Structure 1
Amino acid sequence: MKSPTFFYKWSVRDRSYTCVNLGERSVYTICTAIRQKLQQASVLAITPANTSTVDRAKSESAKDIWTTFETRYGGDDAGRKKYVVVNGFNFQMIDEKPIMDQIHKYENLVADVLSEGMKMCEILQANVLLEKFTPTWCEYRNHLKHEKKDLTLQELIGHMRTEETNRLKDKETSLSSLYVKAILLNLLDLKTGFTKTKEKNPKE
């Protein structure tokens, strides 16, 4: 029996693309080739000939259609794994963003790694995050490294949350102290100016 012919059409930024695939064996190759197009595609229509493999194309989104093909033809993509690993290694914390927001991003990166079937124990997850600390957190990182017990990722996050809270409190206290000092200095300047004026005009 002759293999069915599939016609793929998708549009990206007002440009149309058409791909013809003869037989099911090369369907996954075609899908892999257009995977990068899916996120940018505004319209994706898949029209199978002599089969009802994806007859729901008109009613489903591009993501749903891709899930259908990935389930049918397999989803083991070496390129995806490399992308996930590179993202994880490139992650770096910065002082300009809230610590907890960055930790949440790191947790998502770890989840991506694990979802690709790559093993990464909790101790390793925590140690990788330790190495991503900013210079302002170096002293705290060194303190944690000297702990006798190895921390899991969730334990490390708990410590960081507490440390961040304490730092914010210290910052608020410091700002309040500076504000009070500024007020006292202004009052002192006013008093000094008033005294000098009075000395110049003793009759007043």
Structure 2
Amino acid sequence: MVQLRHAKSLFRFQGVADDRRCGLSCLAFGLRALSRDVRLRWLPVEKREDMEAIMIKPIMRNELLLGMPSEPATEQDVPIGQDLLDTLAAHADSCVGMAANMIGVRKRIIVFDNNGTPELMFNPEIMHASNRFKTEEGCLSLVGVRPCERFRKIHVTYQDASFVRHERSFSGFTAQIIQHEIDHCNGIVI
């Protein structure tokens, strides 16, 4: 079985060029694509040497379960992170981030598209946020878009797949994605 994903497409949002995997992803977060130069190239997702197969998990849509806070992730949860990366790649045409509860696992694990590069975080926490704004977001687990408040800049602490602690700052759309996924970890459904 061959799984497919596409390379990046160039989209323009409100007059600013932005590199995203798919216009639907950005529309799901309440952004309007004004124009786009779509260059789709389909690439095979290769089998990883250290895994038996790519694990694409079904998406959880039960709001009661999505509304339950997640437990801290441990080193035994690293395979869940890989499952999230695989599932995000499979939904790259309509999704830019995921939390473990979206695949039915109540652990504090998120993945997101950071300007074309998938990133994985275990036990992420927002330490500082600034420049609040109002927007609308959609979610692969939910139907439609909903209003919410976000911050343009955030500072996050998290652990990587080796459970080494890191601190990083994010801004713009990437910061918005991370906030959405951390809300999932906290049981907050937009």
The answer, yes or no, to whether TM exceeds 0.5 is no
TM-score, normalised via structure 2 length = 0.23
**Structure of higher CA gyration radius:** 1
Instruction: With a CA cutoff of 8 Å and minimum separation of 6, indicate the structure with the bigger relative contact order.
Output: 2
More strand by share: 2
